[in-house]
Amino acid sequence: MIRTYVGPMYSGKSDALISTYIRIWNKGLVMAFKPREDTRDGAAIKSKNYDISIPAIVIDDISEIKEHIIPNNIKTVFIDEAQLLTGDVSELVDLAVLFDIDFYIAGLNMTSEQKPFGIINDILSVSDEISVINGFCQDCNKPSRYSYYYLNDKDGDVKVGDTGYVSLCPSCLAKRKLAKNPTLMKKYKGEE
C-alpha cells in the first residue's frame, strides 16, 4: 500500500507521518527516509507540532530504499519531502506488492510558483490513497492550498528552509502575485 500526503507548506504533512508512526511503530519493523537535499533537522523527520522525531536515512534516489529495507525485512516505510527525491517510482510499487510493504509518503505537490514539484506527480499516480492536506492562509486564516515564496532571491524550484515562504488561500495568492507583478492580468487577457 502506498499512502501519500500532499499539500502546501505548513499544512501538517510531516505531522501526518509522525502521527501514523506513533500509532504503528511497535507493530513491526519500520524505517524512515528523507532526501539529502533537505538539510533541515539532520537525519530526522520532525514537525513543529510534535516533540518527537523519526530517525531517518538520508538518500538521493528511490532506488536506494531497497538496499535498506529488504535485508532488514522492513514492512513499513516513511518518506518525507518526497518531491526532492529522484528515481523511478515503479520501484515503490514493486516493493509494495512484491514484499508487502506499506509506504507512507509526504511531500509538496506544487512549487511556490504553482508548478508540479519534482517526482511527486509520479508518486501520486501510483498511490493507493492520497490525502490532500490544506493549511491555513497566513494572510487571512482561510484554508490554504498554495505555498508562496515572497522574497526575490529564489532561482529554481528548490530553496530549502522556511524563511520567505507562506501558505496562502487562492484569493491571497492572487493578491500577492498581482502586488509582485501588476501586469500579470494583462498577460492572460492578451493585452501585453
- Residue 189 has φ and ψ, to the nearest 5°, of -90, 0
Domain ranges across the chain? 2-134
- The model's pTM is 0.89
Residue partners of 80: CB distance under 8 A and separation at least 6: 13, 14, 17, 32, 33, 34, 38, 45, 56, 106, 107
Architecture in CATH for domain 2-134: 3-Layer(aba) Sandwich (3.40)
Rg (alpha carbons) of the chain, rounded to whole number: 18
Q: What is the pLDDT of residues 88-106, one digit of tens each?
A: 999 999 999 999 999 999 9
Residue 120: all three cell numbers together:
511527486
Q: What is the pLDDT of residues 151-172, one digit of tens each?
A: 876 566 665 566 778 999 999 9
